[in-house]
Amino acid sequence: MTESITIKQLTKMDELHQMQKIEQAVWAMSPNPVHQTYTAMNNGGIILGAFDGTEMVGFLYSFAGFDGNQPYLCSHMMGMLPDYRRRGLGKKMKLQQFRLAQQYGYSMITWTYDPLESMNAYLNLHQLRATGAHYKPNYYGTMTDKLNQGLRTDRFQIEWDLTTEQKPTETKVDTNRLLIQAQPDEEPISNLAIFDESKDSWFVPIPENFQTIKQENIGLAKKWRNVTGNVFEKLFAAGFAADDLLRGETQQISYYYFTKRSNIS
């Protein structure tokens, strides 16, 4: 439960030092320099901390961005200590970020995430109703932290519209439109031969626990990365976007729901 957790906007240098400890605990890598996060915080950025009493247990770091046409909030990192995960805390922090970004005058928040991390995908697409608008293959290049080491750093770029309310849709998986077949041994088999870009929707399965697969069978993890990467590249190039992530009945597989879009920048 998260009722005892307080979420507040960080404003002080010592709070950013506390945030660094969370970064190190989550990613086992050098944290962002405090002089950089402090500068971002004072120039349009929004940094939130989640506190259990006086102890910081999670954070959400975002800074001002501009694409040449409009300003937006770039949400760069969100992390929390292991004991505080899967308790709805990420959603609470993102909704607080949403409200503050509106007050700052932003019309959009954008961020990236690994499309094979189903928990992040479910939060971003299903719970927050944001859109997976772009596919970025190997976006960060080689990374050596414990979550990314050994794999290509493919990412979806999220666009979260702050000006309109996105309502949930009632969608069921159409097994005739699966662009990957997940075998009983968890092996992914490409089904791109059936792809027809004139259709309005497609489904792409991903494993529910990708990090477990990576730890137990790095070869299988690489296969999932490569097969899904080929499918994602085809879908986005044809003008599709990721609208939702649906939980599978077996608890082992989740399904991306892609729809044809004409309004993605």
pLDDT, tens digit (0-9, with 9 covering 90-100), for 19-35: 999 999 998 889 999 99
pTM for the structure as a whole: 0.90
The pLDDT of residue 145 is: 60
- The predicted structure's pLDDT at residue 140: 87
Mean pLDDT of the 30-52 span: 96
Instruction: Say how far apart CA 222 and CA 204 lie, in whole Å.
Output: 17
Higher pLDDT, 167 or 6: 6
CA distance 130 to 66: 19
Taking alpha carbons only, the member of 165, 167, 151 closest to residue 115 is 151
Sorting pLDDT into bands at 50, 70 and 90, what band is 147? low
Cβ atoms of 177 and 202 within 8 Å: the answer is: yes
pLDDT of residue 142: 65
pLDDT at residue number 2 = 59
Q: Label the pairing between strands 46-52 and 55-66.
A: antiparallel
Mean pLDDT, residues 8-27: 95
Q: How deeply is 151 buried, as exposed, middle or buried, from its count of CB atoms within 10 A (0-12, 13-18, 19+)?
A: buried
| Residues 7, 46: Cα–Cα separation, whole Å | 12
Residue 234, pLDDT score: 97
pLDDT at residue 143, as a whole number: 62
Kindly list the structural domains of the chain, giving each domain's residue range(s) and its CATH number in brackets, ordered by start.
5-161 (3.40.630.30), 175-260 (no CATH)
Over residues 71-102, the pLDDT tens digits come to 999 999 999 999 998 889 999 999 999 999 99
Q: Buried b / exposed e across 71-80, counting CB within 10 Å, b at 16+?
A: ebbbbbbbbb
Inter-residue contact 245 to 132 (CB < 8 Å): no
